[in-house]
Amino acid sequence: MTYPAAWEQLLAIVAAGDAPPPAFPEDDWDDLLPLAQRHGLLALLYRRCCVDCPRPLPVRVEELIHQAYLRGTVLNTLAYNQLGTLLRAMNESGIPAIVLKGACLAEVVYGDVAVRPMSDLDLLVRPEDLPRIDDLSRSLGYIRPDGDVSKLADTESHHHFPVFKLSNGLPLEWHWTISHQDRHGVSIAETEIEALWSRSVSVTVAGVGTRMLNPEDLLLHQCLHLANNHLFAWGGLKGLIDISLILEKNGAQLDFGVIERRAQAWGSWRGVALALSLTHNWLGAPLPEAVTCRVQAALPTDDVIEWIREKMRQLAPASMDGAGPTLPANARWQEIPAMILRNLLPPPATMARLYNRPARSRRIYFDYPGQIAAVIRKGGTLAYRLVGGDREKHVVAVREAALRRWLREEPNERC
């Protein structure tokens, strides 16, 4: 079920900026609030409607979004305490890190930690530091999957190590790059990642001196994370707001020529251009006129944009992500049988992680029949949808496939 009216109302509140948000009939909040909750925006609604530009709201609405704001304050305060402890320990051990995504954005970009939800902590580190990171993490109470630490960074992990968990805190992801390799066209060379480090800037997060991506790289990362990594589904409107606030905060500092050249080099220009366009058109985020023209030249057909809008205004976004065995977009036909075989029969180290087994457990080998059955079931379900056996899912599959194909192809000038 989609919520077109609630979607437009939610956009109007979010895009209001310093202006008073529009007023809505009380009954309209019945659809607006669930959609805002789906996108993680209840606390932001309280900030916009009751703090920045206060206006009368239905009592039940104000109470609900106020509670969300208070929960956000408590949860993110605890998260920043956890992050501060980790960053101090890393500084004392001489391990460099770059704070990524929500942990950086909530404090540095939003300026109010309550309004930007975080589900985990993301840090960019160098792979060669993993042995020291492993020792430090475990000394702080984090638990990682069993296995040889030097083998945790296998190709199955794509762009970060398996999640490190803390019994009374947020999960922790150690990234060595900023995107899945070959994720709908994205390919970032090791030299580019080293350049990210050299361009990173000093910042204080959680009361501790650390580093963050420079403004151009920060914007690029948020765009390709939303577009290429998540196909504009799971990041949703929150991802567009991240981009909008980065644009507002950095303004004239941003070199859009550099942004486009890097995005082209990384194979992510189409996704970046589309993310910028949606942020500009839907949220009124500032873009120079010349940049708007360059962005417009890279956009897909209106059908693709409408599909993204439809996904975002659903309470549970339609997506084919993870619906079956994954194959790189540039795979040659003669390579596909071996890739399918690797999905059916992953190496024992990967199976141990997938099934939460000790690395040397013999039970891993009893998990293979289940793995084979799961891959066949998922692949069969995907094939059934793609050939139209389930009409509703078939439409989703076709529209997702069109978005994926468009993201993978070379830019096509059209104006």
- The answer to whether residue 322 sits within a structural domain is no
347 and 242, same domain (yes or no): no
pLDDT at position 270 over 70: yes
pLDDT at position 130 over 90: no
Return the beta strands (E) in 135-181 as ranges: 172-175
Q: What percent of the chain has pLDDT over 70?
A: 83
Average pLDDT rounded to a whole number, residues 227-244: 91
172 and 297, same domain (yes or no): yes
pLDDT band at 325 (very low <50, low <70, confident <90, very high): very low
Residue 124's pLDDT is 95
pLDDT at position 323 over 50: no
Average pLDDT rounded to a whole number, residues 270-298: 95
226 and 136, same domain (yes or no): yes
154 and 256, same domain (yes or no): yes
CATH number at residue 111: 3.30.460.40
Q: In which order are the strands placed within the sheet that holds 201-205?
A: 172-175, 121-124, 98-100, 208-212, 201-205
278 and 368, same domain (yes or no): no
pLDDT at position 214 over 90: yes
- The answer to whether residue 323 sits within a structural domain is no
Residue 339's pLDDT is 63
pLDDT at position 395 over 70: yes
263 and 341, same domain (yes or no): no
Residue 330's pLDDT is 42
52 and 141, same domain (yes or no): yes
288 and 391, same domain (yes or no): no
pTM higher than 0.85 for the full model? no
128 and 267, same domain (yes or no): yes
pLDDT band at 379 (very low <50, low <70, confident <90, very high): low
- The answer to whether residue 326 sits within a structural domain is no
- The answer to whether residue 317 sits within a structural domain is no
Residue 314 tokens read as: 């659903």
Q: How far apart are CA 121 and CA 248, in angstroms?
A: 24
Question: Which contacts of 159-168 are long-range, i.e. CB under 8 A and separated by 24 or more positions?
Answer: 160/122, 161/130, 162/353, 163/120, 164/137, 166/82, 166/140, 166/141, 166/142, 167/141, 167/143
pLDDT band at 381 (very low <50, low <70, confident <90, very high): low
pLDDT at position 209 over 90: yes
Residue 345's pLDDT is 84
Per-residue pLDDT tens over the stretch 298-322: 999 999 999 999 999 988 766 544 4
- The answer to whether residue 47 sits within a structural domain is yes
Final residue in a domain of this structure, among 251, 278, 312: 312
Residue 243's pLDDT is 97
237 and 337, same domain (yes or no): no
Question: What domain range includes position 172?
Answer: 4-312
Residue 117's pLDDT is 94
pLDDT at position 408 over 90: no
Per-residue pLDDT tens over the stretch 188-207: 888 999 999 999 999 999 99
pLDDT band at 229 (very low <50, low <70, confident <90, very high): confident
pLDDT band at 351 (very low <50, low <70, confident <90, very high): confident
Residue 164's pLDDT is 86
Q: How far apart are CA 364 and CA 354, in angstroms?
A: 10
The answer to whether the CB of 200 falls within 8 A of the CB of 211 is yes
Specify the range with the lowest mean pLDDT, choosing from 66-70, 374-378, 398-402, 409-413: 409-413
- The answer to whether residue 294 sits within a structural domain is yes
Mean of pLDDT over the chain: 85
Q: For the chain, what is the domain count?
A: 2
Specify the range with the lowest mean pLDDT, choosing from 37-41, 240-244, 339-343, 406-410: 339-343
Better-predicted residue by pLDDT, 90 or 234: 90
- The answer to whether residue 355 sits within a structural domain is yes
Give start and end residues of each alpha helix (H) in 47-105.
Answer: 59-93, 101-104
224 and 354, same domain (yes or no): no
Average pLDDT rounded to a whole number, residues 333-348: 69
Residue 78's nearest CA partner among 188, 166, 199 is: 166
Specify the range with the lowest mean pLDDT, choosing from 28-32, 66-70, 225-229, 338-342: 338-342
Per-residue pLDDT tens over the stretch 21-64: 888 899 999 999 999 999 999 999 999 999 998 888 999 999 99
168 and 231, same domain (yes or no): yes
Better-predicted residue by pLDDT, 151 or 239: 239
As beta bridge partners, residue 123 has 99, 174
Residue 333's pLDDT is 46
- The answer to whether residue 229 sits within a structural domain is yes
Residue 158's pLDDT is 54
